[in-house]
Amino acid sequence: METRSTQDVLLHRWIALLHRVRALQPDARSGARPHPLPDPAPYGENLLDRWSEPQRHYHTADHLLAVLDRVDELAAHAADADSVRLAAWFHDAVYRPDRSENEERSAHLAEIALAEAGVAAGRTAEVARLVRLTVSHDPEPGDSDGEVLCDADLAVLAGAPEAYAHYAAAVRREYGFVPEDVFRQGRAALLDRLLALPRLYRTPYAHDRWERTARHNLRAELELLTL
């Protein structure tokens, strides 16, 4: 039996998500004839083209699919899981490892694309807010949607040793333009900051299941970087 590609699976999920969120929003004016909504497929295809750019080695469509799967796993904690799913689609849609404004540009893309695609203004604003949270992965207490997105994005840290090593190597390839000593210093500083956090994961489910493994992986990588 032929298996569907990652991109086929993602496009199918995008189309279903857009149909779902647009069906739930109220009509602009009661009794007014609704405007025809645009086909969601081209928007999904544009996003998938972005997630497939050649400078990406970790921030790829496989990462997007993994984050969406983790959002599904954590969905019971979210106030609006579909807004979190939309934010997952956009959270690294603009990604240049040599630039620092990727999250802001990704949020701006969400504001434009979702409005054009017929998503309600309130939900579009919430998606952009969630995307901007991935700069720090530090949602405010009680921000359940932010907690779900950030935990889903950081779930890779809790992978099995081989999977974590693959992730770390892919990140290094994305920063191939950075000299080795400079990369080691910067990466070590990032790992130190993560390990200093009182909690890597904010949702109870993720904290209970992923925290210990993630911290072990971070410490092991840090030891290798500082040899």
CA proximity to 88, closest of 134, 119, 45, 57: 134
What is the pLDDT averaged over residues 69-89?
A: 98
H helix and E strand count, the chain: 10, 0
137 vs 158: CA distance, rounded Å = 16
pLDDT in tens, 96-146: 999 989 999 999 999 999 999 999 999 999 999 999 999 999 999 999 999
pLDDT at 148: 98
Q: Specify the DSSP class assigned to residue 201.
A: -
Where do we find the tokens 């080795």?
Answer: 180
Report CA dihedral (5, 22, 125, 65) to the nearest 10 degrees.
Answer: -10
CA angle 7, 118, 37 (to 5 degrees): 90
Instruction: Tell me the residue length of the chain.
Output: 227
pLDDT at 47: 98
pLDDT at 4: 72
pLDDT band for position 34 (cuts 50, 70, 90): low
CA angle 160, 162, 165 (to 5 degrees): 105
pLDDT at 3: 54
Which domains does the chain carry? 6-25+37-225 (1.10.1300.10)
Residue 1: pLDDT over 50: no
CA angle 60, 66, 67 (to 5 degrees): 95
Residue 179: pLDDT over 50: yes
